[in-house]
Structure 1
């Protein structure tokens, strides 16, 4: 939900703690996110697995969680939940398509997994 928030989050928190109505404003659209996890999570899992290239993409955003930056500038796993890959689009189907297109770079890696049913409805 936060990617759809137009307000400054700090101001919202300050307003709420001061007892004021933050008058939330929301973007039109849909936000979907999928977690990339270390293989084996939530049980035991290896750390320091190199992540595929995380090139910038205007259709998705990447939030790091269990990652570490090495001296050569590449990212490696450092936790169970490694990344969240999300997308803001005008339809849930478009958001889902963009996320899974981006996540396909993890398909050849034995060190990570992600759910392939996020955003589907029955």
Structure 2
């Protein structure tokens, strides 16, 4: 809380285990693994943004931001809690997403693909 601006950082950590990889990507390659993790981070953030927009339109704090503000800034919260429904749609959200592929899974090439087509 900083005056009229309310902001919050949402942190998410995800760990993925691939079961089977039938693409041309070699996930055991450090470069491809990082590209996949970056893509997962972007996808998670996009979904979180879409969900937030939907609940902000409803002015429904089902996420629990009000409770987080109350815990962190109890004095300020008590002064402004009656305005929370008006403020909730205006909260500025920063996302910190961290994905990690902890198992590349079984890698098999689909029929007709050659090993030299694999992106490493």
TM-score (norm 2): 0.22
Higher helix share: 2
Indicate the structure whose relative CO is greater, using CA pairs within 8 Å and at least 6 residues apart: 2
TM-score, normalising length: structure 1:
0.22
Which has the higher Rg, Structure 1 or Structure 2? Answer: 2
